[in-house]
């Protein structure tokens, strides 16, 4: 069964529908590549997907540790390179709650750094990930 349906809707935009839930979003070409930059670009979704994946697997592990990560955030910065045009670097700054033991922090950091998206990205993409606790 398919995961999603992507439709080109014109003006360098796509509509993306998650088939199981019906949730959708659009992408727009970035301003540095002929677009309007009015929505996530396809490469923005890849970089942001890394942060989504990290927080999700960390939350699963946190639940097992009886730790609450509600309200945690990730700031994502994507850097592009040319020839070929590609993502060259993803920077993620995670802001996580205070009051979590050093042992659990290390477990959660290791879990975040081993998420499936992290393992799926090309190793040539530099990943700078910083965990801020408290």
Residue ranges covered by each domain of the chain: 4-33, 42-133
- Output the pLDDT for position 69: 98
- Output the pLDDT for position 43: 97
Which residue, 58, 60, 66, 124, is CA-closest to 94?
58
Distance (Å, rounded) from C-alpha 88 to C-alpha 123? 10
Per residue of the chain (134 residues), what is the pLDDT tens digit?
Answer: 899 999 999 999 999 999 999 999 999 999 999 999 999 999 999 999 999 999 999 999 999 999 999 999 999 999 999 999 999 999 999 999 999 999 999 999 999 999 999 999 999 999 999 999 99
- Tens digit of each residue's pLDDT (9 = 90 or more) over 93-114: 999 999 999 999 999 999 999 9
CATH of domain 42-133: 3.30.300.20
- Side by side, the strands of the sheet bearing 86-96 are 73-81, 86-96, 126-133
Distance (Å, rounded) from C-alpha 25 to C-alpha 18? 9
Distance (Å, rounded) from C-alpha 26 to C-alpha 59? 27
DSSP-derived secondary structure letter, 111: H
- Tokens (6 digits) for 127: 């990943």
């Amino acid at each position: 069964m398919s995961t999603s349906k992507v439709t080109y809707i014109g003006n360098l935009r796509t509509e993306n529908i998650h088939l199981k839930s019906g949730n959708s979003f659009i992408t727009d070409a970035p301003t540095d590549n002929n677009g309007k930059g009015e929505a996530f670009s396809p490469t923005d979704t890849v970089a942001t997907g890394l942060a989504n994946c990290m927080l999700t697997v960390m939350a699963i592990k946190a639940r097992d540790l009886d730790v609450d990560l509600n309200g945690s955030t990730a700031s994502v910065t994507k850097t592009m390179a040319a020839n070929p045009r590609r993502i060259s670097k993803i920077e993620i700054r995670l802001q996580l709650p205070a009051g979590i033991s050093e042992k659990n922090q290390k477990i959660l950091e290791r879990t975040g750094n081993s998420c499936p998206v992290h393992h799926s990205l090309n190793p040539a993409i530099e990943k700078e990930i910083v965990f801020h606790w408290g």
